[in-house]
Amino acid sequence: MIERLRRDAGQAFPIYVVMVAGLLFLVFAFFAVGKAAALRNGSQGAADAAALAAAQQAREEFEAPFLASLPEDLLDLFLRAHAVPGCSAAQGLAAANQADVNYCEPIPGGYRDRIKVEVEGRKPVDSSVIPGTKKKFAKATATAVIEFRCPKWKAVDLNEDSIRDIFFFTCEGGEMLEIRPSSPPPWSQVSKILYDVHLVDN
């Protein structure tokens, strides 16, 4: 009887080894999947931050051409045909989130410009149980919009010299804004009223 029990135990041992090895493999596989998901989330956060930073920079750089267009009443022309700067700010925010910008694409759209950014995380998945993950890095894209919020405006020529002296803007939600091109308010005060910056689905 003792001999038989020993034989049974000896036969069962390889099964236990295989089961334990399988469980360990599953644990490491789940860990790799979880790590990949975490890295993907981190890259998405970096992409979002980079796109928003680029859009906010573009809004800041609109100051000179926007204000220059007012005296000659060329604002509508500026809004419909203008360059969209801003990509230099994207890398700084991506780097702060452990990622690098693969590309940053400004897309002019008149009253609604977009900036699309793709980033790649700096940390690889690097799983010992999933081949090819040592050089696998998480990528993510994000698109930010710079949207003009004040599509209705009225220009007033006080001196009748064909130069517009005051612009009255009616913005979304009924908000009113007055800008005198000869003495404009600080751009930091009016830019967030004139332009909204937010993320949109890619």
Nearest by Cα to 28 from 129, 126, 124, 125: 129
C-alpha dihedral over 88, 92, 93, 99, to 10 degrees? 110
Beta strands 99-107 and 195-200: pairing type? unpaired
Report if residue 191 sits inside a domain.
Answer: no
The answer to whether residue 190 sits within a structural domain is no
- For residue 197, being part of any structural domain is answered with no
In order along its 202 residues, the chain shows pLDDT tens digits of: 555 544 555 555 566 555 655 555 555 555 555 555 666 778 999 999 999 999 999 999 999 999 999 987 899 999 998 989 889 999 999 999 999 999 999 999 989 999 999 999 988 766 554 555 566 788 999 999 999 999 999 998 888 777 788 999 999 989 999 999 999 999 999 999 999 999 999 7
Helices (runs of H) and strands (runs of E) counted in the chain = 5, 7
- 95 assigned to some structural domain: yes
Tokens of 89: 């700010």
In a domain? residue 183: no
Domain count, the chain: 1
Domain containing residue 49: 2-146
Per the domain annotation, does 163 fall within a domain?
Answer: no
Q: What is the pTM of this model?
A: 0.77
Is residue 178 assigned to a domain?
no
C-alpha separations of 163 from 7, 15, 74 in Å: 104, 90, 11
Asked whether residue 169 is domain-assigned, the answer is no
